[in-house]
């Protein structure tokens, strides 16, 4: 489609506009700050409320989780699988606690639902793995990062 554009009188010759453009690129090259970050060395600072990889909080080496099943119930992606077991000295505990991270949508509702402050979302966002890691209880209990 042909569109009639109202150009300034000399804009049709391009020359002046091109020189203006060249000045802009040169100004950007010489004086503008880089907007990129050098990733492995520099990290972007995310908010403390960032919802990244899950972990299970432990007190004195024992996980806080009591296998109350609130988090798999509330989970919209149905990615938490818990098998509950019993322990003589304490109440219920999770025999198996697995998160299917591929299904997880990082909504953080499990964290909100948890009455024991057990499942939490850390600020870690690098979740690629070089092998088939199961995000099992042992894996989640390890403290990576902070919150």
Partner 1 sequence: MDQIELIAMSAKIALVVVFLLQVVPIMVWVERRGSAWMQNRTGPNRVGPLGLLISLCDALKFFTKEDRTPGHVNKFYYTLAPIVAVAPSFITFAVIPFASSINIDGHVIQFQIANLNVGLLYILSVTSISVYGIIMAGWSSNNKYAMFGSLRSTAQMISYELSMGLSIVGIVMVFSSIELGQIATAQGATLLQLGPIAIPKWGVFVQPLGFLIFLTASFAETNRLPFDLPEGESEIVAGYHLEYGSMRMALFFMAEYINMTVASAFIATLYFGGWQLLPGMTFILNHLGLEGMGFEWARVAFELASFSLKMVFFLWFFVWVRWTIPRFRYDQLMDLGWKVMLPLALVNLFVTGFMIYSGVI
Q: Which stretch binds partner 1 (CB under 8 A): 26-34, 51-59, 86-94, 100-108?
A: 26-34
C-beta of residue 71 within 8 angstroms of C-beta of residue 99: no
Q: Which of residues 104-123 bind partner 1 (CB under 8 A)?
A: none
CA atoms within 13 A on the CB side of 12: 5
C-beta of residue 58 within 8 angstroms of C-beta of residue 119: no
Q: Please identify which residue in 1, 6, 25, 142 interacts with partner 1, judged by CB under 8 A.
A: 25
Q: β-strand 62-63 against 58-59: which pairing, if any?
A: antiparallel
Q: Which stretch binds partner 1 (CB under 8 A): 32-40, 57-65, 66-74, 88-96?
A: 32-40
Using CB under 8 A as the binding rule, whether residue 3 contacts partner 1 is answered as no
Q: Please identify which residue in 1, 3, 35, 102 interacts with partner 1, judged by CB under 8 A.
A: 35
Using CB under 8 A as the binding rule, whether residue 47 contacts partner 1 is answered as no
- Which residues sit opposite 85 in a β-bridge? 93
Using CB under 8 A as the binding rule, whether residue 28 contacts partner 1 is answered as yes
Q: Which of 46, 45, 67, 49 lies closest to 120, judged by CA?
A: 49
Q: Tell me, rounded to whole angstroms, the distance of Cα 89 from its chain centroid.
A: 37
Q: Please identify which residue in 3, 29, 89, 146 interacts with partner 1, judged by CB under 8 A.
A: 29
Using CB under 8 A as the binding rule, whether residue 36 contacts partner 1 is answered as yes
- The full DSSP string for 116-135 is TS-EEE-S------SS----
Using CB under 8 A as the binding rule, whether residue 9 contacts partner 1 is answered as no
- Give me the residues that bind partner 1 (CB under 8 A), please: 15, 18, 21-22, 24-26, 28-29, 32-36, 38
């Amino acid at each position: 489609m042909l569109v009639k554009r109202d150009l300034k009188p000399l804009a049709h010759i391009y020359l002046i506009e091109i020189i203006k453009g060249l000045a802009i690129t040169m100004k950007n090259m010489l004086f503008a700050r880089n907007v990129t970050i050098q990733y492995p060395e520099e990290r972007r600072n995310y908010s403390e409320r960032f919802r990244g990889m899950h972990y299970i909080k432990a007190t004195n080496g024992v996980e806080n989780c009591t296998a109350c099943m609130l988090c798999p119930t509330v989970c919209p992606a149905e990615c938490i699988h818990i098998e509950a077991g019993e322990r003589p000295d304490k109440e219920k505990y999770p025999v198996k606690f697995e998160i299917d991270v591929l299904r997880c949508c990082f909504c953080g509702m499990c964290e909100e639902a948890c009455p024991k402050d057990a499942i939490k979302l850390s600020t870690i966002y690098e979740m690629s793995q070089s092998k088939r890691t199961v995000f099992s209880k042992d894996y989640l209990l390890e403290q990576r990062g902070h919150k």
